[in-house]
Amino acid sequence: MLTHVLWVALLYVLLTVVRAPTVWGFIQSKKEAWAEVEPRVSANLSNQFEWPLFFYVVCVLLVTQGSVVEPAQVWLAWVFVGGRLLHSFIQILTNNVRLRGLVFTINFLAVIAMWLFFVF
């Protein structure tokens, strides 16, 4: 969870950096490089608060359960976090929606599997 929180913090820093030239009046045209990247960073940052909510809930439940967390749960959590990082890079640096969808599906399935392991 800490890795994901740090990643989101870094995305906030990146968003601030890409917005700064416009906010401070350094960019007069929307054709500037930062102006093209800013909506992608902003959209990706929003994505970090949607599906990851279910990841955080299952992680908190696992921690508060009081027993040893299964290695499969830890592995699935790392798959999810690694997938979120990859998802960010794909969304910010490319327009490849199909690849981004594939990575999201892996993230989605990792969290679903974490929930299934937890419930059963």
* 63-119 pLDDT, tens digit each: 999 888 899 999 999 999 999 999 999 999 998 999 999 999 999 999 999 999 999
**Comparison of pLDDT for 61 and 21, the residue scoring more:** 61
In the prediction, which pLDDT does 67 show? 81
Answer whether residue 2 shows pLDDT above 90. yes
Which domains, and CATH codes, for the chain?
2-119 (1.20.120)
Taking the alpha carbons of 118, 53, 34, 103 in that order, is the dihedral positive or negative? positive
13-56: pLDDT as tens digits:
999 988 877 677 666 555 566 678 899 999 999 999 999 999 99
Residue 62 pLDDT: 94
Side chain identity at residue 99, one-letter code: L
Contact of 73 with 43, CB cutoff 8 Å: no
Q: What's the confidence (pLDDT) of residue 42?
A: 95
DSSP code for 110: H
